[in-house]
Structures are given as C-alpha cells and as structure tokens.
Amino acid sequence: MQSFKKLAQISPNHLPSLILLSGEEPFLMKRFQRQLIEKILPEPMRELNLAVFESSFQITDVLESLETLPVMAAKKLVVLKNPFFLETKGRALTAREDQRLHQYLQKPSPDSCLIFYCGTKPDGRKKTFKLVKENGWVEMFPRLKEAELRSFIMDEAKRKGKEFDPAAIRRFIDSFDYFGREPSQDLQDVSNEIAKLSALAGTDDIITRSHVELSTQASFQNDVFLLIESFAMKRASETQVRFHQLLARGEPLLKVVGFLRNQFRSMIRMKVLQQKGYSQAKIADKLKQHPFSVKKNLEYCKQFSVEDLLNLLNAFLQIDRQMKSGYMEPLLAMELLITEVCNE
C-alpha cells in the first residue's frame, strides 16, 4: 500500500513535523503508527522521546512537550489520540488554546513530530485540519478495494511463513462481510482469521481451500451469498445442504427467506439497469451498493432472465406469506422451490 511505501522511503530527518492519520481501517492506522515510531525512535531512546496524550489533555502540556528537544534521536514524537477538537461534534478548544495551537501548526518545530491519530473522521472544514494538511502530511486509510485486500491477505500470510493457493484466497475473501453495504468486518478480523489458518496449516507452507473451509467462521450474510451462488449455478444438492446448514446453526427460516427475497429483488434491479446499458460502477452508484457486491450479484444474474428473477421473487413472497399464515409447511415449500429451480 502506498502509505507504507511512502513511509519506508522517508528518512527520519525528512519526516514532516505534522502528521494526521484517519480512516476506516484502524488496523492499518495502528500498524502505520507503530512502524513510524520504530523508524524514528530507536528502542533504547524511545521512552525519552515519545509522548502520548489521550482523552483529556491540555493543549499547553502538548505544546510544552513539542518544545522539548529530542534525546539522541532525529525527532521527538508527540501523539494525540482521538483529538476531540477535530471531531465534527467534539468539544471545542478555548479561543486562547485555538490561537496557541494554530500558531504552532503554522510554524511547527523541526525537532518534533506531532501525530494526530483520529479514530473518528476529522472535520475537514476546521481550521486546525486545514493547517495540518497545508503544513504536514495527512494520510487516510479507507477500506480496501478487492485487489488491495487480496494483496493484504498474501502479505499477512507471508508474515506467517505461509502462502494461499488461488482457490483458497478466493474462498477466503468470499467468507468475509468486508464488501457489504454496511460491512461488519474489517482488516483486524481478516488478520485474526489468517493467524488461525496459519496455525491450522501447521507445517504446511500452503493454505488450501480445505483449511479455509475448516477454519473460517463466515457471517450469516456470506453464508447466504454462498447459498445464492449454488442456487444460481443450479447445483441442487449443494443448495439443499447449504440451506439446511443455515437452519441447523439456528438461523430462523423467516430470516433466511427474507434475506433471499431482498437479495433477489436487488438482483432484478441490477439486471434491468444492466440491460439499459448501465456499467457495473454506475449500477453500484445508483443502488448505493459496494462495487464488489454488485459484481458478484451480476455474475449470479447471468443464470436468470428478468422473468426468472421475478418468478423467484414471487415464490419467496409466497413462502413468506405461507409462514405467517400457516397455510403450508414453509420448509417443504423451500425444498420444493430449490428442487424446481435447480432442475430446470
């Protein structure tokens, strides 16, 4: 990733005196900060040259620390963790504190490095943010794109002395709710699962799909996506097995059917937009969904016509009504629907 490459290329003497870190991936932010500290401060002198301010702190104390010369190091590092005054609804500094801080930011000490570690997205309209951006280095850590996530996974495995085979890495990515509209997992979860896989692989250098299947604890949403995939590919036995596995793990039938209903409704909209000439990116933007999710659903859509998708949606709606009215055994209705669709 570019931020780490940039850090590796900067010498300690040329490190900016102001750095702001923020983004949706705290795992990368923490790793970047750790590597920055290790690069600038040798271990024997670290304690004398590193000051961390968190939660409640006084700007006067921060500025005093910044004015202290480093001891046998290129720079002194001062870290402000979650600076409240940069948050949109955070507590403001007093007029005097603002003035003193802004004076410093306009002409920061070349012997110190002030790091703003923002766990919450900073307000870019505030003068403090603008001064840091103007006179220092602002590094954002957004959620990764698919190619970046693949690279991250391979690098993490390499740190453990392992390597993913192609089928394993594809299955591993699919097992995570990373690219959802409101994702529930981040890179910390990905890293934790890679550690589990490495332990499971033992002396094997290669992490296989079998290792992933044994180890990965997929979310409900991703389990349903795998169900939809087998459904779309008309693999009847696999679809029945995946459907019953969800129920065996305690997922309510109403929840499973409801998710399938919503997913196929979304697929109809994607299919129609694609037929109207919309690109994958335009569809994602119009439907406010992640491009990866749209890409996967469009692959599934290839197996169905719009009429097929409408019939499926109506079938799920009918099963939903049956469950609520008690008219027919809903489990049997789902099993029959899977058999009918997969045997067409």
242-277, pLDDT tens digit by residue? 888 888 877 788 888 888 888 888 889 998 999 999
322-344, pLDDT tens digit by residue? 776 665 577 888 888 888 887 75
176, pLDDT greater than 80:
no
Instruction: Kindly report whether the global pTM for this prediction surpasses the value 0.85.
Output: no
Residue/partner pairs of 118-121 with CB below 8 Å, 24 or more apart: 118/20, 118/21, 118/22, 118/82, 118/83, 118/86, 118/87, 119/22, 119/26, 119/29, 119/81, 119/82, 120/82, 120/87, 120/90, 121/22, 121/88
Contact 229, 218 (CB under 8 A): no
180-192, pLDDT tens digit by residue? 666 767 899 899 8
User: Cα torsion for 181, 185, 186, 192, to the nearest 10°?
Assistant: -160
Window from 101-115, 132-146, 225-239 with minimum mean pLDDT: 225-239
Of the three residues 124, 141, 158, the one that is the final residue of a domain is 141
If asked whether residues 241 and 328 sit together in one domain, one would say yes
Strand 163-164 relative to strand 50-54, pairing: unpaired
114-154, pLDDT tens digit by residue? 999 998 899 999 999 999 999 999 999 999 988 999 999 99
What is the average pLDDT across 40-60? 86
75-93, pLDDT tens digit by residue? 899 999 999 899 888 888 8
Strands (E), the chain: 18-23, 50-54, 76-81, 112-118, 137-141, 163-164, 206-207
Window from 156-165, 269-278, 298-307 with minimum mean pLDDT: 298-307
**Percentage of residues in the chain with pLDDT exceeding 90?**
35
Q: What pLDDT band is residue 289 in, cutting at 50, 70 and 90?
A: confident
Question: Which residue segment(s) compose the domain that 201 sits in?
Answer: 146-215
If asked whether residues 98 and 175 sit together in one domain, one would say no
If asked whether residues 197 and 318 sit together in one domain, one would say no
Q: Name the nearest CA neighbour of 2 among 189, 131, 137, 176.
A: 137
Domain containing residue 162: CATH number: 1.10.8.60
If asked whether residues 205 and 269 sit together in one domain, one would say no
Exposed (0-12), middle (13-18) or buried (19+): which is 179, by Cβ within 10 Å?
A: buried
Window from 18-27, 282-291, 327-336 with minimum mean pLDDT: 327-336
What is the average pLDDT across 20-47? 90
Report the 10 Å Cβ neighbour count for 122.
23
Torsion-angle region of residue 329: left (phi > 0), alpha (psi -120 to 50) or beta? beta
Domain containing residue 334: CATH number: 1.20.272.10
Q: Name the nearest CA neighbour of 255 among 225, 222, 221, 286.
A: 221
Domain containing residue 48: CATH number: 3.40.50.300
How many separate domains does the chain show? 3
If asked whether residues 103 and 162 sit together in one domain, one would say no
If asked whether residues 258 and 299 sit together in one domain, one would say yes
If asked whether residues 135 and 156 sit together in one domain, one would say no
pLDDT value for 181: 64
Q: Which residue has the tokens 């995570």?
A: 176
What is the average pLDDT across 1-9? 84
If asked whether residues 137 and 27 sit together in one domain, one would say yes
If asked whether residues 228 and 174 sit together in one domain, one would say no
Of the three residues 109, 141, 173, the one that is the final residue of a domain is 141
Of the three residues 115, 141, 167, the one that is the final residue of a domain is 141
Q: Name the nearest CA neighbour of 304 among 266, 335, 333, 278.
A: 266
If asked whether residues 180 and 77 sit together in one domain, one would say no
Q: What is the mean pLDDT of the chain?
A: 86
If asked whether residues 238 and 275 sit together in one domain, one would say yes
If asked whether residues 159 and 116 sit together in one domain, one would say no
